[in-house]
Structure 1
Amino acid sequence: MKQLPLFDIAVILSYLLAMVLVGVWFSRRNKDAEQFTKASGLIPGWAIGLSIYATFLSSNTFLGVPGKAFGSNWNAFVFSISMPLAAWVAVKYFVPFYRATGEVSAYTNLEKRFGPWARSYAVICFLLTQLARMGSIFFGIALSLQALTGYSMETIMVVTGICIIIYTVMGGIEAVIWTEVVQGVIKTLGAVLIVYLVVNNMPGGIPEIIEIANVNGKFSLGGLSLDLSSSTFWVVLLYGFFINLNNFGMDQNYVQRYHTASSVKEASKSVWLCVLIYVPASLLFFVIGTCLFAYYGMNPDLIEPVKLQAASEQLGASATQEEIVELAATLKPEDYGDKVMPHFMVTQIPAGLVGLIVSALLSAAMSTISSGMNASATVFLEDIYKRYVNPRLSAKGQLRLLYTATAVFGIMGMFAGVAMIGIKSVLDAWWQLSGIFAGGMLGLFLLGIISKKARGGDAAIAVIAGVLAILWMTFSYLIPEHYGYLRYPLHANMIIVIGTLVISLVGTGLAAMRR
């Protein structure tokens, strides 16, 4: 088992304790559901912007992005490039709309527009997306801390999950936002520190890194052909635009924050501040992955333990040492990319700094998970319990339900993380799951905006068509080889794009046919 120095352990424990104390501090203000979910609309725009940034910059970014850059190139950075356009649409249309409705839930308006079923459908999509998001983040943090401590991934998820649940349950959205402000700063400084340490350990420094990266095509943003069956520049750009539009325009995590601002102007500023910080910050993590590729390219013996670990996980506990060594020799960088940064942290970061890096990694996980827990609990209260069980629930009853639901969703997120143990790329897993679960939700909302004449029946048929399309795109790989022509031919990242377009266009077409 890896033994961390006492100083590093003290730093990590101090950070976890501080997060719990933040929840205790803000718990005194939570007198009703509005304070728990909206913070009474008194949060400044700059704090909300840093909070949204911290939610975006999860452990999926902290681990998955360097892993992708190490294993392939900067193709995934195109996701960040798409953010400004999605933010512009959100600020122009979505933010003013939500502020005007005054509804804390992002999905209440769908019932007014298309009926109760539409609201329930969107809620199911959102909750599934949140479980996938929280699970992938729990998995990411456990992957790193296992390398650092030797504890099982399940144990790490439980311990970190308990800390997150305590401060999120006690503090509400206000605690979530202010802890995310601190976490956003910590995780950014952690990334800068890692870049410095890699470059400092690299013979030849930055010029050598650039040369190795150029030779291996690491700076490529993807091909510019119109091929939608591979991860080209255009596929990632389309995926990024639709996912980011879904985030800014339909995701309860972000919509709820718009209501914590004092005005539409402050809410809009928060979106732009998030984009302004996130785009260069995400680039920093691609730089980390590229630097690690160059470093281990110059020191191939140092990466052998990672390859052996990846081979062992693929073969299972019954594999012999000879089999593991044989498979490890054939592995490519993309097969073990997510494990490289944790390995560097274990072997190359000096004692005394590991605690700071782990705290940054913890902050990357905790910010997104706490946000997802709070948003999921809010949706459960507003869109499920008050809608179908007890619309006249007392103020104290609402607060108790929010506490309980927050804890339950945190526990479910931990179970989702355990279920993901063994996946190759945490970033790929999250992108695919979010595309599957979120596609229909965004399409339904866009239908309500695009076609003023679309009715509930049109929307229902459109959603059925969209869900069938998403199911086909997701599971058509199971079709036997001799019926290969029936398989989905495009890249998995196009699922959200096609699913969204099918729902919005089918619904619009049905409405137009009635004229």
Structure 2
Amino acid sequence: MVFVGYYFSRKNKNSEQFTKASGTIPGWAIGLSIYATFLSSNTFLGVPGKAFGGNWNAFVFSISMPLAAWVAAKYFVPFYRSTGEISAYTHLEHRFGAWARTYAVVCFLLTQLARMGSIFFGIALSLQALTGYSMQIIMLVMGIVIIIYTVMGGIEAVIWTEVVQAVIKTFGAFLILYLIVQGMPGGVSRIIDIGSSNGKFSLGTFAPDFTQASFWVILLYGFFINLNNFGMDQNYVQRYHTASSEKAASKSIWLCVWLYVPASLIFFVIGSSLFAYYQVHPELVETIKHQVAVERAGLGASAAQVTSLAATLKPEDYGDKIMPHFMVTKIPAGLVGLIVSAILSAAMSTISSGMNASATVFTVDIYKRYFKPEINEKQTLRLLHVATTIAGFAGLAAGIAMIGVKSILDIWWELSGIFAAGMLGLFLLGIISKQSKNHEALTATIIGVLVILWMTFSSSIPSQYEFLRSPLHKNMIIVIGTLTIFLVGLLFTKIRRKALVY
């Protein structure tokens, strides 16, 4: 990866090449790149862990992707290609003022921090089981490697390495599934029997219940978060500009969807297969539970305390440990190297993409906007390099802070929903309601942020004031937050227009 970064560094003589690759990337490569960004280590480790501890409820997220992709290909891609702006947030200033642009940028950077942190944590989780090194050391070494090739190679290096990584990680997934099935007494039929009897293939309840992770909650969450990904996330918007044409950019979105939906299903199958495998080998589960109990109990805990804690652990408490444990104990040495490279590829593609996008947004939307608008080309390229490095180390710090969380997928979904809700609602208000003005958008955003904060922290309200808590599942934060900003903005716009008539 470092060599690839060096190879493409010879082309990076200006900021446009670093951020847009001068618009020369073919659509199929961009599609594979977007697919690789979606298929992060959160998918590689978090999804099997989620399926092991629960069921296929989280797969509904993938089912929602085609509808969000249709909206993006029909409306968002033409919009961004017509503006010509490399940043996804520049147009918000044209619509509502500088505050809107800055607010969206802050939301995006916080989202990237959460994403990169969760992925760094995923790398460390798997490699710690394989190597025995501390999570902090693993994150630091991998972080430095990723920073070097991303700084040197720019967006072109990011995209072409992701093309290779997309192939490696997909092959790795099939290999893991093959090895599980091969080692399972009774094969596929036994896996299906155990999975069916334990409800492992359920998509969640279809009842209109928004207080738990029902089918409808995950479907709504998936649609809104994917709408944000395709429409507001700089990682993806920036790729639209690297395409040679609008048609190629739209095709790249659909290629991503048609690859990711079946690929994510494979990881749910892996999780359910691992559940069946460890049901047949319960003695292996006790080893994993003991490891988790030792980590949670801390260094000063006695053997009796560890044993007591291990007895209380449920499958969802150690689901993320299952894949690394299977790799260490059951996969032959030569093949485990290939699977490690697949996991690293899954992580590196998303982190490098997030670093490049974060640096672009900081340079265009913050530094040039507020500090030095007349910065020359040489200074811009240097600033992009520095900002990329800082973004990488910030993500690394976030990953270290996440050590000890129960589920990679849960923490990433929750944080992304919180940070993305505000900017998606503001974006939809700006692009759909042409009559909405600055003060209406600002008022709606303030109300929306208050709603998001209430839904996020209301669980901490004392029990005597329980009636003030949000009854909705936390995955509904992005849904309610987005709709609040959008609908309140429309309402105030309608009130103003009526007042003008009278």
Q: TM-score range, shorter-chain basis?
A: over 0.9
Structure 2: distance between partners of 1:305 and 1:56 = 32
Deviations 1:432-477 (A, max 9, x none): 0000011000000001122111100000000000100000001111
- Please list every run of 5 or more consecutive structure 1 residues that lacks an aligned counterpart in the other structure: 1-18
More off after superposition, 376-385 vs 309-318: 309-318
- What is the match of residue 58 of structure 1? 40
- What is the match of residue 301 of structure 1? 283
Q: Which amino acid aligns with 2:127?
A: L
What's the TM-score, normalizing by structure 2? 0.99
What's the TM-score, normalizing by structure 1? 0.96
Deviations 1:51-79 (A, max 9, x none): 00000000000000000000000000000
- What is the match of residue 137 of structure 2? 155
Determine if the alignment matches structure 1 residue 284 to structure 2 residue 305.
Answer: no
Structure 2: distance between partners of 1:61 and 1:210 = 22
SS of 1:29's equivalent in the other structure is: coil
Q: State the shift of 1:168 in Å.
A: 0.2
- What is the match of residue 437 of structure 1? 419
Task: Give the aligned CA root-mean-square deviation in angstroms.
Answer: 0.5
Structure 2: distance between partners of 1:187 and 1:162 = 21
SS of 2:333's equivalent in the other structure is: coil
Structure 1: distance between partners of 2:361 and 2:430 = 20
Q: State the shift of 1:313 in Å.
A: 1.9
Give the counterpart of 1:383 among 347, 365, 372.
365
Contact 1:24 1:167 in 2 (8 A): yes
- What is the match of residue 6 of structure 1? none
- What is the match of residue 255 of structure 2? 273
Give runs of ≥4 in structure 1 deviating > 4 Å: none
SS of 1:151's equivalent in the other structure is: coil
Structure 2: distance between partners of 1:484 and 1:353 = 52
- What is the match of residue 137 of structure 1? 119
Structure 2: distance between partners of 1:351 and 1:484 = 53
- What is the match of residue 21 of structure 1? 3
Structure 2: distance between partners of 1:314 and 1:473 = 28
Give the counterpart of 1:180 among 131, 148, 162.
162
Q: Which amino acid aligns with 2:270?
A: I
- What is the match of residue 207 of structure 1? 189
Determine if the alignment matches structure 1 residue 334 to structure 2 residue 316.
Answer: yes
- What is the match of residue 470 of structure 2? 488
Aligned pair count reads 497
Determine if the alignment matches structure 1 residue 222 to structure 2 residue 204.
Answer: yes
Structure 1: distance between partners of 2:437 and 2:343 = 47
Percent of aligned pairs with the same amino acid: 74
Determine if the alignment matches structure 1 residue 399 to structure 2 residue 371.
Answer: no
Determine if the alignment matches structure 1 residue 92 to structure 2 residue 74.
Answer: yes
Q: State the shift of 1:478 in Å.
A: 1.3
Structure 1: distance between partners of 2:312 and 2:383 = 52
Q: State the shift of 1:330 in Å.
A: 2.0
Structure 2: distance between partners of 1:399 and 1:126 = 21
Contact 1:450 1:508 in 2 (8 A): no
- What is the match of residue 505 of structure 1? 487
Q: Which amino acid aligns with 1:326?
A: S
Determine if the alignment matches structure 1 residue 236 to structure 2 residue 248.
Answer: no
Give the counterpart of 2:58 among 76, 99, 105.
76
SS of 1:104's equivalent in the other structure is: coil
**Paired residues for 1:29-44 under 5 Å:** 29-44=11-26
Determine if the alignment matches structure 1 residue 465 to structure 2 residue 447.
Answer: yes
Q: State the shift of 1:346 in Å.
A: 0.5
Give the counterpart of 1:325 among 307, 319, 323.
307
Q: Which amino acid aligns with 1:103?
A: E
- Please list every run of 5 or more consecutive structure 2 residues that lacks an aligned counterpart in the other structure: 498-502
Deviations 1:380-429 (A, max 9, x none): 01000110011111111000000000000000000000000000000000
Structure 2: distance between partners of 1:24 and 1:75 = 42
Determine if the alignment matches structure 1 residue 411 to structure 2 residue 428.
Answer: no
Structure 2: distance between partners of 1:118 and 1:451 = 15
Structure 2: distance between partners of 1:82 and 1:385 = 36
